[in-house]
Amino acid sequence: MKMTMRWFGEGNDQVPLEYIKQVPGVEGIVWSLHDVPAGDEWPMDKILEVKEQADRHGLNIDVVESVNVHEDIKLGLPTRDKYIDNYVKTIEKLAKVGVKVICYNFMPVFDWTRTNLFEEMNDGSTALFFENEKLKNIDPMELVNTISENSEYTMPGWEPERLEHLADLFEKYKQVTEEDLWSNLQYFLERVIPVAKENDIKMGIHPDDPPWSVFGLPRIITHKENLQRFLNLVDDSYNGLTLCSGSLGAHPNNDVPGMVREFADRIHFAHIRNVKTYDNGDFIETSHRTEDGSVDVYEVVKAYHDKGFTGYARPDHGRHIWGEKCRPGYGLYDRGLGVMYLWGIWDALQRMTKKVSN
């Protein structure tokens, strides 16, 4: 297992690279060019800038998260081909600096969705929270107006420059069914996967977060059967998964350790985190410790270990603890603790394996 940590770039992150380097066992950063709009070809000079920054601290840039997919591709519009062409050119550039995995998602309009970015927990820490009933009963366009007046709201997909286009996007997606989305995803994969294979970059789709429809928008990367259907769209080892235990684990019917065992040879990137789920559909992100949430993180890590996983992993989201002021979900402290918890499980499993073999 190759351990990494998400980094949002100099001037865009409160976590310096020298701090990430000090977390035991972390080999690289998971990065992106966050100022490049979805659908644009990535400039080589900006890619090289990130590589130079990481090189100074002895960290690799093997994993990119994300090269975002333009909405026209998801919608299947005639303009999608030019955006796929740009995606292909970006893959070719990333290969030149040694990138090995691209994580992306195919969620319409929004990335991960939460109703509270800093929900207070019993111990005084805060975490990302999803209140099911609140989101189910809200008019998304009313929410857009609320967010427009609140510059502190930083949910992915709700950035101020995107808000003015949301009404148009919602109108377009009224005509898009889940089957349409599957078809548009297959079209994208059939263009992109051969290029990724030629450039030795593995593509890992991220599950929908949460793994059910939000605001009536179609979502399809949600459970075991759909993961298998996705892999069958282009049955090639370069077409794989970013398996996120927190996203999939938000639905109590999803057996995450079982999915790891089922799809291990097609998992290119492991997002490992925990969530506490409730009977009413609410969930809150917790520490990585198994006992604190509803995901059996021990069994998740054991599944990776038993299957001989040698791919990339990261501790994914964490709580906000010890007064740290940070990007929602991405404080250094709790993610650092998460890394050590994951390594603790892994090292113990390694030790037990050696004892059995001896």
The answer to whether residue 320 is catalytic is no
87, 238, 312, 330: which one is catalytic?
A: 330
70, 251, 268, 271: which one is catalytic?
A: 271
Can the peptide bond before residue 125 be classed as cis, meaning omega within 30 degrees of 0?
no
Sheet containing 283-285: which strands, arranged edge to edge?
116-120, 126-130, 283-285, 275-277
Between the CA atoms of 130, 337, 26 and 13, what dihedral angle is there, to the nearest 10 degrees? Answer: 50
- How far is residue 107's CA from residue 355's CA, in Å, rounded to a whole number? 45
**Residue 316: closest CA among 347, 293, 350, 348:** 293
Report which DSSP code applies to 209.
Answer: S
The answer to whether residue 316 is catalytic is yes
209, 244, 333, 334: which one is catalytic?
A: 244
Question: Buried (b) or exposed (e) across 125-143, using 16+ Cβ within 10 A?
Answer: bbbbbbbbeebeeeebeeb
Q: Report, in this order, helix, strand and coil percent for the chain, each rounded to 5.
A: 45, 15, 40
- H or E element that contains 170: helix 160-173
The answer to whether residue 271 is catalytic is yes
13, 70, 206, 268: which one is catalytic?
A: 206
72, 208, 282, 316: which one is catalytic?
A: 316
The answer to whether residue 200 is catalytic is no
The answer to whether residue 103 is catalytic is no
70, 251, 317, 320: which one is catalytic?
A: 317
Residues labelled catalytic: 206, 244, 271, 316-317, 330
